[in-house]
Each structure stands twice: as structure tokens, then as C-alpha cells.
Amino acid sequence: MRNDKFHGRVQGTGRICNAPGCDEPGEFRAPGVRSAGFDGPGDYRWFCLEHVRQFNSGYDFFAGMTPEEILKAQSPLAGWERETRAFRPDAGIDQAPRWADFADPLEAIAQRAKARRADHQKAADAARRGISPDERKAYDALHLAYDADRRQLRQSYSELVRKYHPDRNGGDRTFEGRLQEVVEAYNLLKGSALFA
């Protein structure tokens, strides 16, 4: 079987053209009755050059679609509605790697995989200790270890409030969001049974 890439011709298969009454070799593939789906590529029809040209001239890709589906299919983003985890810039981790820091891209990917594994282990450790996902975020916001006591909670809170408060930063309010996270984290944890 030889495939002519430039013309879509597949020679030497022994197929006969699917057009009624045609005995020419069926060397050109066209969409069949069953379209591609989750269960496979679908069916194909095989035509000679003359009949594939006739088929192509009358083929309507949008047949059976609603106007909304047609607009969506014509969008330049068609098929890219969502990013898979592997192809998101952050691959499901906090941020994309700084590629310039690595001589080999595989090192950057390996580091991201290690970070993801460490994050899963940290989540499992938190779950074993009875720490909820919200409490875990609070621990992270306050830079606390999971075995921290009430004194360490207050100490970390005080240090971070001093660090992010606008009065300590010459009136600069760029850290207000971070300060709000710290305050909310402290309020959540101080009332938690973990620090009772």
C-alpha cells in the first residue's frame, strides 16, 4: 500500500470506488455514514478521483448542526475550549517554570512533577491529621507546619501582619490582598479545634 501524501491518494489497496456502477480503484477516502466519535474514527467511503471530486463539491460539514453549533465550530478556538492539565501553562501547579533556569526542558518538567508529588503528600498528611482543605490553605497562608501550636500561630500571624500592613510599607497598599489572606487564615485557625 502506497500513500501519496500530496493528493490524499492511497494506492494498491484493492478497493473499488463506492460510487454506484463505477469499477475504478477507490483510492481517495471520504467521510462515511458514521462519523468519528468516542468509539473510533468512524466509517469511510472510498472513491476514484472523479467521484471524490463530485463528493467534495456537494459535501456540507455543517449539515444537521444548529446555528449556534455552526458558530462554535467556526470559531478559531474550536476544539481548544479547555486546557488539559498537561498543556496548561502551570500544569496544575502554582506557576509555570522559569524555562531560562534550566539547561534541559526535561529538568523543568521533572521539577514540576516533584512539586506536584510533594503537594499530594502534603495533602495526604493534612488529611491524616484531620485538617480540612480550607484549613490547609490557612496553614499555607501563615507558613505554619501542621504540628504548630497556638503560640506559633500567634507568632506567625503577628510577623506576617507587620510584614504586609500598609503602615509598615510606607502606605503602599499592594500587599493588601496578601494581608487579607493572612487575617482570614488566622481567624479560621484560631477558632479551629486544631488549636483548642
Q: What is the pLDDT of residue 89?
A: 58
Paired with 45 in beta bridges are 30
Residues 48 and 17 sit within 8 Å (Cβ to Cβ):
yes
Residue 141 lies in a domain: yes
pLDDT tens per residue, range 165-184: 888 877 777 888 888 999 99
Mean pLDDT of 59-77: 84
Domain containing 108 equals 83-128
- Domain total for the chain? 3
Residue 65 lies in a domain: no
Residues 19 and 51 sit within 8 Å (Cβ to Cβ):
yes
Here the CATH number for the domain that contains residue 165 is: 1.10.287.110
* 24 and 37 fall within a common domain: yes
Mean pLDDT of 34-57: 80
* 183 and 138 fall within a common domain: yes
pLDDT tens per residue, range 151-165: 999 999 999 998 888
Residues 30 and 17 sit within 8 Å (Cβ to Cβ):
no
pLDDT tens per residue, range 103-125: 888 888 888 888 888 888 888 88
Query: Is the pTM here over 0.75, yes or no?
Result: no
Q: What is the pLDDT of residue 142?
A: 92
Dist CA 1 CA 148 (whole Å): 69
